[in-house]
A and B are shown apart, each in its own frame.
Chain A
Amino acid sequence: RKEVEQDPGPFNVPEGATVAFNCTYSNSASQSFFWYRQDCRKEPKLLMSVYSSGNEDGRFTAQLNRASQYISLLIRDSKLSDSATYLCAVNPTPGTYKYIFGTGTRLKVLA
């Protein structure tokens, strides 16, 4: 089993829709969870951190479910500009300072 797994998609949704992605991790000791956004042929950029209490930034909400070992990203009122690949990142082993990424979930928002 991979340390971090994501559904690659693509998720095709109409403008204005709500869409959610999950990212599962295998090591229950994992700490530090993040969502990154990557546009085509560009570098990844941090979208938001995922805290134990959840995190909301405008139309974006990230949550952590430690019992089921996954993090989620919810996008409300999707915009055309939200079309991108969304990567989750996890530090699977505390103290090792390394981040493992999922394969990414591709989102296409359609007009």
Chain B
Amino acid sequence: NAGVTQTPKFRVLKTGQSMTLLCAQDMNHEYMYWYRQDPGMGLRLIHYSVGEGTTAKGEVPDGYNVSRLKKQNFLLGLESAAPSQTSVYFCASSYEGGAGGELFFGEGSRLTVL
């Protein structure tokens, strides 16, 4: 069972480069999320989506853009990477939103910006 798949799993960027992280889920979930996790900071919500074609800002949206053109995919883009964006990025999906749905996470994408 694939569940939530993130690509790539590792990436090294130079400051100013751009890249896109892809999240794909095969559970037909409506809700999808992008978090970043840094030491001592826990998981912080970047952006989320409540359905195909929708996106919303989370706690730390600056420097990131997202798109949800297809229900199963949620893309996170960095237009001009900065060292402060070095982090582990987790995508998650949920059948229900705030009503109480369990979040299913991908394995994470480790990004280093030099």
**Which residues does A use to contact B, with CB under 8 Å?**
6, 8, 31-32, 34, 36, 42-46, 49, 87, 89, 91, 93-104
Q: Does B77 make an interface contact (CB < 8 A)?
A: no
In the complex, the chain B residue whose C-beta lies closest to that of A88 is: B42
**Which residues does B use to contact A, with CB under 8 Å?**
31, 33, 35, 40-45, 48, 50, 56, 58-59, 90, 97-100, 102-103, 105-108
Cα A56 to Cα B98 with chains together (Å):
22
Q: Which residues of A contact B58 (CB under 8 A)?
A: 98
Q: Per DSSP, are chain B's interface residues mostly helix, strand or loop, or mixed? A: loop
Task: Assess whether B100 is in contact with A49, with CB atoms less than 8 Å apart.
Answer: yes
**Given known A98-B45, A100-B45, contact A43–B98 (CB-CB < 8 A):** no
Cα A98 to Cα B59 with chains together (Å):
10
The 8 Å CB contact of A97, one of B41, B44, B50, is B50
**Given known A98-B58, A98-B98, contact A8–B40 (CB-CB < 8 A):** yes
CB distance from A45 to the nearest CB of B (A): 7
CB distance from A10 to the nearest CB of B (A): 13
Task: Assess whether A32 is in contact with B45, with CB atoms less than 8 Å apart.
Answer: no
CB distance from A31 to the nearest CB of B (A): 7
In the complex, the chain B residue whose C-beta lies closest to that of A92 is: B98
Task: Assess whether B108 is in contact with A103, with CB atoms less than 8 Å apart.
Answer: no
Cα A103 to Cα B38 with chains together (Å):
9
CB distance from A48 to the nearest CB of B (A): 10
